[in-house]
Structure 1
Amino acid sequence: MKRNVLIIGAGGVAQVVAHKAAQNNDKLGDLHIASRTLAKAEAVIASVHEKSAMKVAGVFKAHALDAMDTAAVAALIRDIGVQIVINVGSPFVNMTVLDACIETGVAYMDTAIHEDPSKICEIPPWYGNYEWKKRDATKAAGVTAILGIGFDPGVVNVWARAAADMMDKVHSIDIVDINAGSHGKYFATNFDPEINFREFTGTVYSWQGGKWQENAMFEIGKTWDLPIVGPSKAYLSGHDEVHSLSANYPDADVRFWMGFGEHYINVFTVLKNLGLLSEQPVVTAEGLEVVPLKVVKAVLPDPATLAPGYTGKTLIADFVKGEKDGKPVEVMIYNSADHKEAYEEVGSQGISYTAGVPAVAAAILVAEGVWDVGQMVNVEELDPRPFINLLNTIGLPSYIKDDQGDRLLQYEI
């Protein structure tokens, strides 16, 4: 059994994690949140108390921390006595935080793959460039490290495993992410603009025919017939989960599809063609060195500020095809979140909600020993059943549609 949690980060996803951890602090113990800017961490705690989210009376403290400093992260872990770290800071800090967890022997989890600020779209598999190099170290230390436990990556990986367990052979895994909501702004991204744009400026990698296929962003589009939000156009995109699912299901085609409106595509294309999405520094006429991508981030709305006026729903689904007893099988597993409902509960919009709730579910399973496996894993390598059941009870129910109908996915364990 592990107790006491440190949340690293103080953005929209961290706010969701903080609220959900508070709602389950009877299982998780003392709570702590750390950010480079102490005031941001304190504001998250204040929002928790404003909504009386703490299930039982307990500790919730804020700390200032440079998460790029492994020694500082390790020192904080030791000082406050936590046994679980939920890293929802920038993907740039993954490896320093992971190293600190290995050093101190505490459980680690994150919601996105590590990124080097100076590089975009490295060679696949992306996990092989950083996290997977620490597999032996985590196992030697007996440290549970759960990679990519947001929604995508995260829940969609769990669904892929759940669907695969229903089949004798898996032929394809297609992940579809649609945001049918509206934030009312001329242009904004739903999470960190720098990370958002980095996802879509490089090569689109998918795993097809037992090898990596390369395409350009917005080159391949498809309309998907979806529950709740209806027919929706999505584009083949590069994404984290493709890089682990392809390793665990090498005989299946693995693709990720993201929904984009024409307005987003037009603005994105203009910014890219002007060089404003470059991660490489340039020098202005005044002699100032700036990174264009960081300038764009600075002038766009902070994603956390979008929540109060956000309306509509998200729809994320896995379409998995395969064989069972020699016959073709197709399964869709999905979830829909409501932006307004998310804001009313935790003060964040639906996309942050879907990313934050799964990390807390995983923390609860680690605390209870169910997912405390003492090594590094991607989510599809864990038993999906207790996780899906838990998500059903804490805000993100999973539904399945197959030849038996459309219903809640629930397991008897």
Structure 2
Amino acid sequence: MKKNLLIIGAGGVAQVAAYKAAMHNDVLGDIHIASRTVSKCEALVAGILEKKALKRPGILAAHQLDAMDVEATKALIRQTKSQIVLNAGSAFLNMSVLSACIDMGVAYIDTAIHEDPKKICETPPWYGNYEWKRREDCERKGVTAILGAGFDPGVVNAYAALAANAYFDRIDSIDIIDVNAGSHGRYFATNFDPEINFREFTGTVWSWQQSQWTANKMFEVKRTDDLPVVGEHTTYLTGHDEIHSLSANLGVPDIRFWMGFGEHYINVFTVLNKLGLLSEQPVTTAEGLEVVPLKVVKAVLPDPMSLAPDYSGKTFIGDLIKGERDGIETELLVYNISDHEDAFAETNSQAISYTAGVPAIAAAMLIAKGEWDCHRMANIEELPPVPFLDLLGRIGLPTRIRDEKGDRAFDPAEFGETRQTRPKVRQA
């Protein structure tokens, strides 16, 4: 059993994680929140206390931390006696925080793949460029490091593992579909850190097709689906984190990620991009000031956390999986629907942050209970999916299943027995 959680970050995902951790501090123990700006952490603590979200009396504290400083992070882990660290901050921090956790022998969780601020859309597989290089260190020291424990990556990986382990005999394709059918009422904004958001779409779109990496341009390939609850939406082929582990772990020839965009977003994005305002490379102004255009755009756009009070509508995220079961061509849709207003009522956040923050806390709870304390580095699909999806349903993110039997709530009993007719995902 592991106790005491250190959450690094104070943005939207960290906020949801902090609220949810407080609601389950009987399992997680002391809750500590740390970021470069301690006032943001203190505001989170105040909000949690105002909502009386702590399940039982306990420590809920704010700390100042530059998480790029490995030694400072190690010192805070030591000071707080944290045995689980969640990096809910920038993806630029992953390797620094992971290093501190390995040195301290404590569990590590993140919600997105590591990024180098100076590089965009590196050569696949992205995990192989950074996190997977520390696999042997984790295994040698018995450190649990769970990568990509948000929704996508994260829950969608668990959906894929569920299908591979307990539903299909052979999987031919996995199409991950992410649609935000909500509205925040602003002229233009991103739902999470603009710097990270834009970096996903300004480089090469990498997908896994015919068992090899395939390159496309953003907005070059699209599809239209009639989805449960949110209806018909057009989505675009996009590069994304989970493809880079699923392609290595599942043996599926086609794995693609599709994200929904409105025409207005595409138009604004295209103008910004063509003007060079989304570049991560510094430029010098006529006055001799060196600036990074992408950081300037980030500075003038609304803070994603500020969108939450006015957000309405729902999100859809799911896996459309095709393959063979008992000799018959079969299609399975595994998905979640979340509501922006419900997320705000519970955690003062919008549903995009909610869907990323809740799974990270579910992962922390499973580590604390020992079910996911695997003592090595693992992507979500390498861990047992049923307890994860079951727990998610109980703490705010219910899963639904649609196949030839109809559309129904996920029932752990239905997937309790794994099928033995095909190789399974490697699991801890």
Shorter-chain TM-score: which interval?
Answer: over 0.9
1:32 aligns with 2:47: no
CA contact (8 A) 1:388 1:410 kept: no
Amino acid at match of 1:291: V
Cα separation, 1, equivalents of 2:328 and 2:315: 32
Deviations 1:187-223 (A, max 9, x none): 0000000000000001000000010010000000110
- Contact 1:317-1:332 within 8 A present in 2 as well: yes
Structure 2 SS opposite 1:200:
coil
The equivalences for 1:4-23 within 5 A come to 4-23=4-23
* 2:69 match: 69
Q: Distance in 1 between matches of 2:291 and 2:399?
A: 44
| Matching residue of 1:270 | 271
Q: Is the 1:218–1:235 Cα contact (8 Å) retained in structure 2?
A: yes
Q: Which residue of 2 aligns with 1:372?
A: 373
Match of 1:151 in 2: 151
Q: CA deviation at 1:252?
A: 2.6
* CA shift for structure 1 position 329: 1.2
The residue aligned with 1:108 is 108
Matched, 1:385 2:386: yes
Alpha-carbon distance in 1 for matches of 2:270, 2:49? 42
Aligned counterparts, 1:135-214, within 5 A: 135-165=135-165, 166-214=167-215
Instruction: Tell me the distance in 1 between the aligned counterparts of 2:251 and 2:215.
Output: 17
Counterpart mapping for 1:211-290 below 5 A = 211-290=212-291
Does structure 1 residue 130 correspond to structure 2 residue 130? yes
Cα deviation 1:225-244 (Å, max 9, x = unaligned): 10000010000000000100
**Structure 2 residue ranges without an equivalent (≥5):** 417-428
Residue 4 of structure 1, CA deviation:
0.4
Deviations 1:322-351, CA, capped at 9 Å, x for gaps: 111221111000101100110010000000
Query: Residues of 1 paired with 2:377 and 2:298: CA distance?
Result: 33
Structure 1 distance, partners of 2:34, 2:276, is 34
1:38-77 correspondence runs (5 A): 38-77=38-77
SS of match in other structure, 2:42: helix
Matches of 1:285 and 1:13 in 2, distance apart?
Answer: 38
The alpha carbon displacement at 1:251 in A equals 3.4
User: Quick one: distance in 2 between partners of 1:65 and 1:268?
Assistant: 33
The C-alpha deviation readout for 1:352-392, integer Å capped at 9, x for no partner, is: 00000000000000000000000000000000000010011
Q: Cα deviation per residue 1:77-109 (whole Å; 9 max; x = unaligned)?
A: 011101000110100000000000000000000
Contact 1:192–1:303 (Cα < 8 Å) also in 2: yes
Moved over 4 A (4+): none
The farther-off stretch of 241-250 and 377-386 is 241-250
Secondary structure (helix, strand or coil) at the match of 1:250 reads coil
How far off its partner does 1:259 sit? 0.1
User: What CA RMSD, in Å, does the superposition of the two structures yield over aligned residues?
Assistant: 0.6
Q: Is contact 1:8-1:89 (8 Å) kept? A: yes
- Supply the AA of the counterpart residue of 1:231: E
TM-score, scaled to structure 2: 0.96
Distance 2:102 2:92 in 1: 18
Contact residue 12 and residue 304 of structure 1 kept, 8 A: yes
State the 1:410 CA deviation: 1.8
Equivalent-residue separation in structure 2 for 1:85 and 1:385 (angstroms)? 23
Unaligned runs of 5+ in 1: none
Which is further off, 159-168 or 263-272?
Answer: 159-168
Between the aligned partners of 2:111 and 2:260, the Cα distance in structure 1 is 20
* Paired amino acid for 1:278: S
Query: What per-residue deviation string (whole Å, max 9, x for no partner) do you get for residues 171-196 of structure 1?
Result: 00000000000000000000000000
Percent identity between the aligned chains? 66
- Hey, what does 1:89 align to over in structure 2? 89
Q: 1:335 touches 1:399 (CA, 8 Å); kept in 2?
A: yes
Counterparts of 1:288 and 1:30 in 2: how far apart (Å)?
45
Aligned partner of 1:350 in structure 2 is 351
Structure 2 residue aligned with 1:330: 331
